[in-house]
Amino acid sequence: MPFDRRIRLRSAALLLVPLLLSACGLSDDESGGAIDTVKIAAKTEVPAGTKLVVAEQNGTQSLPWNLANAGQGTPYEVDFADFSGGAAVIEALRSGAADVGSIGEAPVPIAVDSGVTDLVTIGLQANPGTSGGYYLVARPDSGVRTIEDLRGKRVAYPPGSGRHMVTAGLLKRHGLDLRTDVQPVELAGAEVVPTFAAGAVDAAIVLGNQYYQLGEPPILGDGKGINTGIQTLIVRRDVLDDPAKVAAIGDYLGRAVAANNWKDTHADQWVDQYYVKVQGITFEQGKKLYEEDGIASYYPIDEQSTALFQTVADGLHETGTIKGRVDVSPFVDGRYNDIVTAQNELDGVTPKSLKS
């Protein structure tokens, strides 16, 4: 099956700065400079005229970037382009329309399984042990009260996505196979909610804001224990052959970490701007979602975070979402780890342990 159809689908920190000089051209004199709201642990020397296009979904990169003023004084131009779904982000990268893409946990393994090998993950967030804002819900009039009741029922999900993985995983926990024991209804992400609301399916996997917009239908299960909370920044592999882009991407990643950390110290502002104004739910609803899951922290791409990412690929295979087993290790690159660590230390952020 073609890929596009399958997925449619922060003192101590400053001590680290000299370590970054050779790899990314960081200026020691500029490191730790204040830019309004956030501080950047290290800035990068980028050739004049360099531009980055960042492909995102629902403003998840540009909104914190702008709210935290993380982009002030960037030595390059940054444009954000919004796309619907991980597949569209990946195609933007592969076509050269974007330099950096922000996607969730599932698209990279799925793409690799489909023969796409020119992508590499250079930034990784995770939030394991949370629901991820994924909820498997049933229509109140469907007669479905438990996941076991879904046998033979119509279940909607967007194929090739984190929601696909969570749906399959929840069913498997309860002795059901998404492919054979229910009627799977594959829909574009934007079509899941209206289809559920219209009564055309018995159950659907929805996001937190959608759950509230639907009037809080019965929840059969959520992403806890399946969701990793992984969000990735990916690039096309050959972009890393361009020294100017490499420098700009390193600087961008450090600022993205700072913007992400800003959210956790400005929770009410983040809830208002993201959950209320972007996602269209009340402040109280947004605050509840925020307090349940918190923020996915950036991690160095090391053995532990790669192992967590591997569990995603393994889960996709075990649930039949992908046909083959995918080794994610060739598709991650930790060249910017010192930048991530320096920024987290500057901001006083200690990501939760990934050890199982």
85 touches 259 (CB < 8 A): no
Pairing of strands 51-56, 100-103: parallel
Q: What is the pLDDT of residue 268?
A: 96
Q: Please, are residues 17 and 169 in contact by the beta-carbon 8 Å criterion? A: no
What is the pLDDT, as a whole number, of residue 165?
A: 87
Report yes or no on whether pTM surpasses 0.75. yes
256-278 mean pLDDT: 95
**pLDDT band at residue 58 under the 50/70/90 scheme:** confident
Measure the CA–CA gap between 22 and 182, rounded to whole angstroms: 55
pLDDT at 238 over 80: yes
The arithmetic mean of pLDDT across residues 103-116, rounded, is 93
Instruction: Please tell me the predicted confidence (pLDDT) of residue 38.
Output: 77
Residue 259 and residue 253: Cα distance in Å, rounded? Answer: 10
What percent of the chain shows pLDDT beyond 70?
Answer: 89
- Does 9 have pLDDT greater than 90? no
pLDDT digits (tens, 9 = 90+) for 113-146: 999 999 999 999 999 888 889 999 999 999 999 9
The answer, yes or no, to whether residue 44 has pLDDT greater than 90, is: no
Q: pLDDT grade, residue 294 (50/70/90)? A: confident
Q: Is the dihedral of CA 18, 23, 27, 31 positive or negative?
A: negative
Kindly indicate the confidence band of residue 318, based on its pLDDT and cuts at 50, 70 and 90: confident
Q: Which residue in 352, 120, 346 sits closest to 255, CA to CA? A: 346
Q: Quick one: pLDDT at residue 161? A: 80
19, pLDDT greater than 60: no
The yes-or-no verdict on residue 228 having pLDDT over 70 is yes
pLDDT category, 13, cuts 50, 70, 90? very low
Q: What pLDDT, in 10s, does the model give residues 178-192?
A: 999 999 999 988 899
Task: Strands of the chain (E only): list them.
Answer: 26-27, 34-35, 38-39, 43-44, 51-56, 77-82, 100-103, 119-126, 134-138, 154-157, 183-186, 203-207, 219-222, 231-236, 297-299
Which pLDDT band holds residue 351 (cuts at 50, 70, 90)?
very high
Q: How many CB atoms lie within 10 A of CB 251?
A: 27
Two structure tokens written together for 144: 């479905």
Beta carbons of 222 and 131 less than 8 angstroms apart: yes
Confidence class for position 40, pLDDT limits 50, 70, 90 = confident
pLDDT bucket at 42, cuts 50 / 70 / 90: low
pLDDT band at 12 (very low <50, low <70, confident <90, very high): very low
Q: Which strand (E) or helix (H) includes residue 4?
A: helix 3-7
CA–CA dist 78, 81 (Å, integer): 10
Residue type, 343: Q
How far, in whole angstroms, is CA 184 from its chain's centroid?
Answer: 25
Tell me the sheet residues that pair with 124.
232, 299
- Predicted local distance difference test score (pLDDT) of residue 25: 35
Task: Quote the tokens at residue 255.
Answer: 């600022």
For residue 34, pLDDT over 60 is answered with: no
Q: What is the largest CA-CA distance in the chain?
A: 65
Q: Which has the minimum average pLDDT: 5-9, 36-40, 128-132? A: 5-9
Residue 92 is encoded by which pair of tokens? 């933007």
Confidence of residue 41 (pLDDT cuts 50, 70, 90): confident
Look at 38-47, 148-157, 215-224 and tell me which has the smallest mean pLDDT.
Answer: 38-47
- The answer to whether the beta carbons of residues 115 and 3 sit under 8 Å apart is yes
Higher-pLDDT residue of 104, 200: 200
pLDDT value, residue 356: 60
